[in-house]
Amino acid sequence: MAATLSQNLLLAVPLAPLVGALVAGLAGKAVGRRGAHTVTILGVLISFICSALVLKAVAMDGARFAGTIYEWAVVGGLKMEVGFLVDGLTAMMMCVVTFVSLMVHVYTIGYMEEDPGYQRFFSYISLFTFSMLMLVMSNNFLQLFFGWEAVGLVSYLLIGFWFKKPSAVFANMKAFLVNRVGDFGFILGIGLIVAYAGTLDYAEAFAKAPQLAAMSFPGQDWMLITVICICLFIGAMGKSAQFPLHVWLPDSMEGPTPISALIHAATMVTAGIFMVARMSPLFELSDTALNFVLVIGSITALFMGFLGIIQNDIKRVVAYSTLSQLGYMTVALGVSAYSVAVFHLMTHAFFKALLFLAAGSVIIGMHHDQDIRNMGGLRKYMPITWITSLLGSLALIGTPLFAGFYSKDSIIEAVHASHLPAAGFALFAVTAGVFVTAFYSFRMYFLVFHGEERFRHKPFPPEDDHAHDDHGHGHDATPHESPWVVTGPLLLLALPSVVIGFMTIGPMLYGDFFAGAIFVDAARHPAMAELAEEFHGAAAMAMHAFTTAPFWLALAGVVTAWVFYLKAPQIPAALDRSLKPLRTVLENKYYMDWFNENVLAAGARLVGTGLWKGGDVGLIDGAIVNGSAKTVGMLAGVLRRVQTGHLYWYALVMLLGIFGFMTWRLWPFFGGLAG
């Protein structure tokens, strides 16, 4: 029998960051800057230590927890409760979220050093950590939805952290509205589960999944389970930035770099991937939903990678990389390789947080100039940032033995083994994406750290007032390495970026680490079973990789970037001129923003204006409210003429009334006499 985890230990995981957030947020002035970062870092540190203890108990002792912590209401038989479900999937997510968050908290001390909103920022990121932990630890759909909306709310606050900056306000509103579209689908999916399964509890809903699969959607011949899964995945499309609901994520770079790392690496954007993996007992029953997931992920993986090629803002290059890698995770979900998807989620969290924080270190060293065309040769000025960026980039492109290699190659192999109709297109997308990823990653790396020192030919931007940059340091004209509170987290993140894949691929993909947490119908979806037959250990997998297409495509991408941007920069310049129409399409991000703003938003405004002027002003105010008032007023005006106030007039009216009444009543009698 599996050991049971302590309820108090589990409660400490989300509550410690919440306490830190409340102290820093509500008593920020009283505790000061040092107090704010001390209490929040201590809270996240406690949370990480507790999460590590939970992971050890789950992995070593087979410990599990599934139960109610507090039941706060019962409505029509539905239990509203706070409860935890802790298994291999949850324990892994808890450790990833808390470790990356801890690194971001420490990093923030240096990055936001002189920002006037220092305490507020620490409060927000700690609250963000609490929200994500509540999401991943939940055992019911209501708590899942609470965490889902909470990370959305705090991301809105963080993206628009510099609220005096118009572009930041626009970006956080854009993120908020796009996620409302996804969340509408998400709550419809939850509503259908509640309506037809009669429960909010995961275990009870999963037990009734076969019954849901046998039902049809009312009034249609659609499978109910397909509608439920697609609605749930629409929620994931918003949170995990899948096409076409991806448009908010690049603009979220308007927030400070630490939150870019936290949102894009370990928290908000991974929520959708985690949710679909958790819902695997439902998704396994609908091939239609899985094909839908597969196509959306494939489009995102390839076409968002193309956009990374033409970006010149260092943070936006990494942002489009995140979009592409989220597409890879979604593809893995689509071929029922849920364990591979969350494995890539884990490895990606480390090396993407590393790349974002390294980009922030470069921004500090360059005195807030984010344009990679103004950099070059930073290797000798920022050696720690250089080496950690190189390690992160090698992990990202799937270099054998690095963390990203094991997860990314496993995704490609799982797609190759899938029998779903959409698997052919997906295989092309994820394979071509290998070259694209390597090219834009090392384009950025070479332009930033090698070649000519272009910053010497361009004056540094003047100090700003926090509305346009991260904080105001005095500086000289030479780039410099960042302080230890910045470089320390880089080194600590670089370690798992290199070794975590090698250490964990066996138990996580081919062992029983996710037993009971992820369900796969191997008879219908045999991809993982086929991968297990071909797996002969992490070292053997790395050695075999040197003979596979993904390795050579990645190498080709690196070599192409080296030639284009270090040896023959005239080549990309010539291509840019000859492929101007294509570049225009990429620069306009496939015109998705134009379509959203000029078609969807304009259409919504047109409908709203019509309902306002025609429905509200014309029908309701004009005809019903004002019209009825005018009718009453008109009748009152007529009656007012009758009410003269003279007694003889009233007597005459009474006599005429009596005469008329008597005539009406006696007319049949006189008519009969006449007949």
Q: What's the CA gap between 53 and 123, in Å, rounded?
A: 25
Cα 38 from Cα 43, distance rounded (Å): 9
Return the pLDDT at 670.
67
pLDDT digits (tens, 9 = 90+) for 230-278: 999 999 998 888 888 888 888 888 888 888 778 776 677 888 999 999 9
> Token pair for residue 215?
């039902």
Place of tokens 């974002």: 356
Backbone phi and psi for residue 4, each to the nearest 5 degrees, phi listed first: -105, 135
Whether the per-residue pLDDT at 472 is higher than 60: the answer is no
Query: Model confidence at 228, in pLDDT bands (50, 70, 90)?
Result: very high
> Residue 145 and residue 202: Cα distance in Å, rounded?
13
State residue 64 phi and psi, 5-degree precision: -145, 160
Is the model's pLDDT at 176 over the cut of 60?
Answer: yes
The pLDDT, as a whole number, for residue 553 is 94
The secondary structure of 208-242, three-state, reads CHHHHHCCECCCCCCEHHHHHHHHHHHHHHHHCCC
Helix axes 314-334, 268-278, angle to 10 degrees: 0
- Measured between alpha carbons, how far is residue 520 from residues 59, 88, 282 in Å? 20, 15, 10
Q: What φ, ψ does residue 195 adopt, rounded to 5°?
A: -65, -40
Q: How far apart are CA 505 and CA 256, in angstroms?
A: 33
DSSP 138: B
Residue 433 confidence (pLDDT): 93
Structure tokens at 341: 């998807």
CB 258 within 8 A of CB 301: no
pLDDT for res 292: 94
The answer, yes or no, to whether residue 545 has pLDDT greater than 70, is: yes
Q: Is pLDDT at 117 greater than 90 in this prediction?
A: no
Per cent of the chain over pLDDT 70 is 95
Nearest to 123 by CA among 202, 45, 50, 33: 33
Identify the residue whose tokens are 């009216």.
Answer: 653
Residues 6+ apart with CB under 8 A from 484: 110
Q: What does DSSP assign to residue 374?
A: G
d(CA 242, CA 179): 11
The pTM score is: 0.86
Strand partners, 83: 68
Token couple for 18: 């919440």
The yes-or-no verdict on residue 63 having pLDDT over 80 is yes
The reported pLDDT for the residue numbered 673 is: 61
Cβ atoms of 91 and 58 closer than 8 Å: yes
State whether residue 81 is helix, strand or coil.
Answer: strand
Task: Name residues whose C-beta falls within 8 Å of residue 588's C-beta, 6 or more positions apart in sequence.
Answer: 594
| Coarse DSSP helix, strand, coil percentages of the chain, rounded to the nearest 5 percent | 75, 5, 20
Residue 231: its pLDDT value, please?
A: 94
At 336-379, the pLDDT tens digits run 999 999 999 999 999 998 998 899 889 888 888 888 888 888 88
Which H or E run contains 70? Answer: strand 65-75
Cα Rg, the chain, nearest whole Å: 31
Instruction: Give the SS3 label for residue 335.
Output: coil
CA of 347: how far to CAs of 51, 290, 398, in Å? Answer: 17, 23, 11
* Mean pLDDT on 133-155: 92
The per-residue pLDDT for range 549-561, each reduced to its tens digit, is: 999 999 999 999 9
Average pLDDT of 58-65?
88
Tokens of 411: 């995704």
pLDDT digits (tens, 9 = 90+) for 475-516: 446 788 888 888 898 999 999 999 999 999 988 888 888 888
pLDDT of residue 672 exceeding 80, the answer is: no
Does residue 49 come out as left (phi exceeding 0), alpha (psi in the -120 to 50 range) or beta? alpha
CB 314 within 8 A of CB 448: yes
**DSSP string computed for 551-599:** HHHHHHHHHHHHIIIII-THHHHHHHHHTHHHHHHHHTGGGHHHHIIII
**What is the chain's mean pLDDT, rounded?**
87
Residue 674 has pLDDT above 80, yes or no: no
Q: What is the pLDDT of residues 619-630, one digit of tens each?
A: 888 778 878 888
